[in-house]
Amino acid sequence: KVICPTEVFSVETLCPLNDSDYLVGGIFRQFQGYERGSIAKIDKNGFLDTTVFNEAGFDSSHWSSSKGLVTLIKPAKNNKYYIGGQFKYFNGQRVSSVIRINGNQEFSIDNPEVSSLQLFPNPANDKLTINASTIIDEIEIYNISGCLLQKTKINKTNVSLDVSALPVGNFLLRATSNDEVFVKKFVVLR
């Protein structure tokens, strides 16, 4: 970490790409003399790829006049990457503190369809119906103490679960779908 009177420069994370290049994240306004907003792409020798991240990059009010802070870059499926840190904007677009970007030449924000998961009836008696906007791979039911009570492979968007063996009380349902995880609370009453 280098702190200058007018600039903060810190590299916090490094993530390999599919083509032997790397994404570098941290807090910096410039990288190897080129304007960058806390994220850059470098080759295997450490030299900056000047063709990407030419826009504003990450920006945040957390660091006065500086750019946002990127603390995490993790690969996801299908040439996509999760970026996390302290920032409010990516290339001028308002974002949350964790975003997913496409690993294409432009490294644009990935705007997947918003996925949803619904449980009903809630409270449930003997059956709990689950409706999802994407195919659910697996469902796990936990008690409030975090103990796994039931695990079921699904591969459907809609399913009815038998919860008659569960005691009266509060539970957590964890559903996985591709690279998404949903967690919902539900209650069993009789």
Q: What is the pLDDT of residues 53-110, one digit of tens each?
A: 887 788 754 444 456 889 999 988 788 888 888 887 887 777 777 788 888 766 777 7
Percent with pLDDT over 70 in the chain: 87
Question: At a CB cut-off of 8 Å and minimum separation 6, what does 107 contact?
Answer: 41, 52, 53, 101
pTM recorded for the entire structure: 0.54
Question: At a CB cut-off of 8 Å and minimum separation 6, what does 139 contact?
Answer: 130, 150, 151, 152, 154, 159, 161, 173, 174, 175
Confidence at residue 67, expressed as pLDDT on a 0 to 100 scale: 63
Q: What does the pLDDT look like over 2-34, one tens digit per residue?
A: 444 445 678 899 999 877 899 999 988 888 988
